[in-house]
Chain A
């Protein structure tokens, strides 16, 4: 059986400037932050990022890596508005493809099912249609004759997701209450990279089967990155690091980047520990 384990650097080496990159998680929850940090250390840029956005978007926007963002929102949850995303957007830093949360889900679903689009009763009447002039409608071929938005497939060149556990083959298990849409991101992508809190040798004789979210046939690489979702939440392993998130949201970007993002993942985690010790 194929061993798919990689380092964050191996993953990023497979990404190219100009790619369409899906990032799993939701808001400031279970984001593949270690992989995003590795991306920040590379020279990959000009990305189309597809994300239910959180600090993944804020970090990449602040670093100027995004050409286009496809999203329904960007938030830090306990801090409703993402400051770095806002600053970049208000400065005209990237193109925005703004769609609704449900349209986003059906776009991933369509890509996963190899369909060009899926009909959705969302978007009609809203300015989503105005700001996305490429969106088309479709008429039901049945008696109802209703008209819907034909949400185009959100096809991804690559997807990055983070789960609680994974095996070397690429099967991923989530132990929190919400799968978000991580399996769909993997299914919608040409290549998918799964980081995990813990690499395991199988999931035991009687795992809760529905917790086995990500399936290996949709996965290209597996990366063990303990605390790899930090500072977003990865329950039950850890909650959001609210104090650090606040620091992220209130520190000028160059200062934050200089202190925390200059080295590899190990030095990031160590800089975070040092900061917490100083705060005691």
Chain B
């Protein structure tokens, strides 16, 4: 039986389908496994990093050099699709990883904005949320780090020109912003999850069709790759328990 974590790996991998010869920048365990699954199967041209300053093939061999300054050039050049984490995410895809509460005197200081502002204006940015809850999916984020559709539109053509949030993957389902007003839409449910359950765990109303399909099933080969080649130690289950 396919585990919840395996559906999540699959849904993340599909974010890098048909993206061409770009850098897959996964943040978090499940997105990292997804990027490697995508490269091993349907997106062999993807570029992957060793997590430091090297571009590496699936066999671990170095094929390029990507220190931070060149990584930033890859962002602004647009040849990258990043999947970031989110401490908070709202219905328009505004993301926060900086702090919780009032910025002037935060209740909880987190990482800081990092590269979220430059990422979201320059290359496709997807999000991964391992624990879907009302604490993460909020009515309004406390600090806009990653720019959502409404804020990009308000900021004008320079902000919208390359702005795109292809998808959000959580432990409950897959989401996009393909609605007339670019609000978040439930695209698929991981098997065993109901639409009501997702809505209950979300702090704003989600757009959805009357019948929401299930996240696709892995092929036998994809399952074998996840279990035997990409993640034999089962790191995926630590991030997403079944």
Contacts and interface: CB of A to CB of B under 8 A. Distances in A.
A113 interface: no
Interface stretch (A42-50, A85-93, A240-248): A85-93
Contacts of B69: 105, 179, 181
B118 interface: yes
A127 B109 contact: no
A101 interface: yes
A75 to B, nearest CB: 6
Interface string A35-73: 000000000000000000100000000000000000111
A259 B27 CA distance: 36
Q: Which of B143, B145, B158 has the most chain A CB within a 10 Å cutoff? A: B158
Given A121-B118, A123-B117, A124-B159, A90 B108 contact: yes
Interface string A120-159: 1111111110110000000000000011100000000000
A143 to B, nearest CB: 13
A103 B54 CA distance: 23
Interface string B113-129: 11111101110000000
Interface residues of A, number: 41
Contacts of B75: 102
A244 B5 CA distance: 33
A124 B121 contact: yes
Interface in B137-157: 143-147, 151-152, 154-157
A125 B76 contact: no
B1 to A, nearest CB: 33
Interface string B199-212: 00000000000000
A179 B98 CA distance: 26
Contacts of B162: 121
B53 interface: yes
Nearest to B108: A90
Interface of B: 52-54, 65, 67-69, 72, 75-76, 98-99, 103-118, 120-122, 143-147, 151-152, 154-159, 161-163
